A = this chain, B = another copy of it.
Amino acid sequence: MIDPTPLVGALPANKPFVGPEELARNAGITSLIRLGANESSFGPPPRALAAMRAEFERIAYYGDPEMLDLRTALARKHGCAIEEIAIGSGIDDLLGLVVRAYLAPGDVTVATRGSYPTYVYHVDAYGARLETVPYAENGTVRLDALAMRARETHARIVYLANPDNPSGTFAARDAVAAFVRALPPHALLVLDEAYGDFVEAHDLIVDGVHDNVVRMRTFSKAYGLAGARVAYAVAPRAVVTSLDKIRNHFGVNRIAQVGALAALDDRAFVRDVVAEVARGRDEYARIAARHGCATIASHTNFVCIDCGSRARAETVVTELLARGIFVRKPAAAPLDTYIRVTVGTADERARFGDAFAEALARSDTNANASR
């Protein structure tokens, strides 16, 4: 049998995430409330659903590989040129393309330790070298330390999720602008704004294209289209040209293109989702406080709840799963004592509240029993 390339052969057989279906299968559970992948319990905008249903007649046909209609609408939304918009089948796809285009084996990239695992997955798989800076104890991203590490290591890419995942924290416009200025002149900033729709646009980096910055946005979160697989980057023309040389040109499915385009027009729906998510975050904070657990103030559709210790957080995740509720937890210190819970519907939140109380109690019983 032929061996893979030395690079691929040396990779561990890891995957960025174990999916909820696999977790449920392993736990022997057939029905799951999904509060672990920050999907939207509120679904896509009705206009997007209607447009996708209508497009079904044409599912035998490939989507437009140039995705001109969607790119035109996105360029208008962000005040940039069509040539400054790249579309992929999710931010995961775009992250892989940017890593491949800008990191040769051995090149350095800098990110916060414990931030989005799929970025790290791509960095490893292309043989690049990851340098990390830990979160501050309060869960914020240490922008000064990140920029310093980028300068020290001659990083070619700096990865920043803002709002951040998994912490939910957010750096406002001026802080990000200062951060961009502090980066070395030959570093590309990958600014992952997957959760950007949950903050006010005027708090994000000034709209449009910035030198050396690739902003990524998705339809998977506030727009409720995770299953459709569509996201985009706003980036300098040269970056879009580089991605165009290597991307899977017919990779974004036809239905997703149509759904995303229609979703952009349904601003009232997305505004309502964002407002309901804010109410849900407050509710989670109250639920956590009831049990003496701190939360990190979140600017996303999820909340991190401190369970006090890593072991207790792990037990709570397992006990919640046994009760039919899927959540995740950050892997790296100092956030590894937290669980991360997506804001679901009011009913889902209530069910989480009940199950969380049970899971905590069970965790404490276990801990006492093992003493």
Contacts and interface: CB of A to CB of B under 8 A. Distances in A.
Interface of A: 1-2, 4-9, 11-17, 19, 21-22, 25, 34, 37, 39-44, 49, 52-53, 56-66, 68, 89-90, 92-93, 96, 100-104, 107, 118, 125, 156, 186-188, 211-212, 220, 224-229, 236, 238, 241-242, 244-246, 248-256, 259
**Secondary structure call for the A interface:** loop
Given A90-B251, A118-B249, A125-B245, 14 more contacts: A1-B211, A1-B236, A2-B187, A8-B245, A9-B242, A11-B245, A13-B244, A40-B60, A44-B60, A58-B227, A60-B226, A227-B253, A229-B250, A253-B253
The 3 closest A-B pairs by CB, nearest first: A227-B254, A21-B64, A60-B224
Q: How many copies does the complex hold?
A: 2
A15 B102 contact: no
B251 A229 contact: yes
A104 to B, nearest CB: 4
Nearest to A254: B227
Contacts of A96: 248
Contact of A242 (B4, B102, B242): B4
A66 to B, nearest CB: 5
Nearest to A57: B43
A275 to B, nearest CB: 17
